[in-house]
Amino acid sequence: MLRMFRSATLLYFGPIVLGALILSPFCATLTINGEKIFPLGIKPMHPVLALLILIIIIFASWVIATKYAAKLDNKILKIYTEECDPYTYISRYENILKRRLGNERPFVLMYLSAGYLAIENAEKAKQILDSIKSFPYYIIRNVVNRFNFYNALCSYYLQVNDIPNAEKMLENMLSSLQNEKFPKLRYDETYNYYTDKQYSINVAKGVFSGAEEVFSIRYNREKSKLGKVVAKYQLGKIYMYYERFEEAKEAFEYVINNGNKTYYVGKSIEFLNQCKVGEPT
């Protein structure tokens, strides 16, 4: 994550270089005419002690810089999850992608795929998701990353209304969850994402049984504004199906008022107009 942000990289290497420069005179000795001279006028530090101090500086710098990078990353994520502004979010990560990234690159690509789906640019999102396949370690070695990858692909297939492939990705998500290497501490939270996708597919297929309860729970569970917007959007479609137009209007108005620049706003305006048409006169 350090390589994603120049300031974090500087925060990491800066103290190390400075520490090395400060320590070097304390370890230096000069020999003139066979006589040892200490530049600082004091006995030099033992090399082992100097190395230990430098290791401590390196570790402390890494901890501080990593936390700072995570803070910067979280700030960008909030542009998407709290401000519901995928355009600015995409711009920030596209700039980061121009940097020399290592293992961070597939994570940035995953972030970008979510942003492009949020503006209904499914083609670009799919291109990005396909490019992640060139980083096999991201998918193969980490079962949580594998679940997230299939979850993103499922979102793509849902957006283009390719239900058979969305269901295949759902099966892959379940397979990842059932993998013995999946961390138990993350299972419950991640299983909720699986359930949401399962019922999103059902709604897309016109099967609404149980969906209202699932997305009502999601709305109450979600901490991010975007998560609540998505839940309300799904609830609006469910209320439309049951011809509960007042509740549908309330749900879509919530999305319009809070969804900002996501594609859910435009879709909700369309559904809202349908509500007005469908209401009994």
Residue-wise pLDDT tens digits, 209-232: 999 999 999 999 999 999 999 999
β-pair partners for 37:
30
Per-residue DSSP letter, 280: -
pLDDT of residue 149: 93
* Structure tokens, 101: 């990234």
CA distances to 25, 123, 204, 245 from 237, in Å: 71, 24, 10, 10
- Average pLDDT value for residue range 176-189: 91
pLDDT category of residue 280 using cuts at 50, 70 and 90: very low
Q: Which of 227, 224, 236 is nearest to 274 (CA)?
A: 236
Rounded Cα–Cα distance for residues 211 and 240 (Å): 13
- Going from N- to C-terminal start, the domains of the chain cover 1-81, 219-281
Q: Which of 171, 126, 108, 176 is nearest to 147 (CA)?
A: 176
pLDDT category of residue 90 using cuts at 50, 70 and 90: very high
Rounded Cα–Cα distance for residues 145 and 135 (Å): 11
pLDDT of residue 40: 53
pLDDT over 80 (residue 276)? no
- Average pLDDT value for residue range 23-49: 61
Q: Mapping DSSP to helix (H, G, I), strand (E, B) and coil, where does residue 217 land?
A: helix
pLDDT of residue 25: 67
pLDDT category of residue 38 using cuts at 50, 70 and 90: low
Where residue 258 falls (left for φ over 0; alpha for ψ -120 to 50; beta otherwise) is: alpha
Q: Which of 276, 189, 200, 273 is nearest to 238 (CA)?
A: 200
- Lowest mean per-residue pLDDT among 9-18, 120-129, 144-153, 190-199: 9-18
Query: Residues of the chain with pLDDT > 90: what percent?
Result: 59
pLDDT category of residue 100 using cuts at 50, 70 and 90: confident
* Structure tokens, 220: 């109450």
Residue with tokens 């600015």: 88
Rounded Cα–Cα distance for residues 18 and 127 (Å): 43
Rounded Cα–Cα distance for residues 128 and 150 (Å): 13
**Of residues 4 and 209, which shows the higher confidence score?**
209
pLDDT category of residue 207 using cuts at 50, 70 and 90: very high
Per-residue DSSP letter, 4: G
Per-residue DSSP letter, 45: P
pLDDT category of residue 81 using cuts at 50, 70 and 90: very high
- Average pLDDT value for residue range 186-214: 93
- Average pLDDT value for residue range 23-38: 59
Q: How many CB atoms lie within 10 A of CB 15?
A: 17
pTM of the model: 0.84
- Average pLDDT value for residue range 18-42: 62
The mean predicted confidence, pLDDT, of the chain is 87
Instruction: Report the run of H or E that residue 32 belongs to, with start and end.
Output: strand 30-32
Per-residue b or e along 146-164, where b marks 16 or more CB atoms closer than 10 Å to that residue's CB: bbbbbbbbbbbbbbeeeee
pLDDT category of residue 281 using cuts at 50, 70 and 90: very low
- Average pLDDT value for residue range 187-196: 92
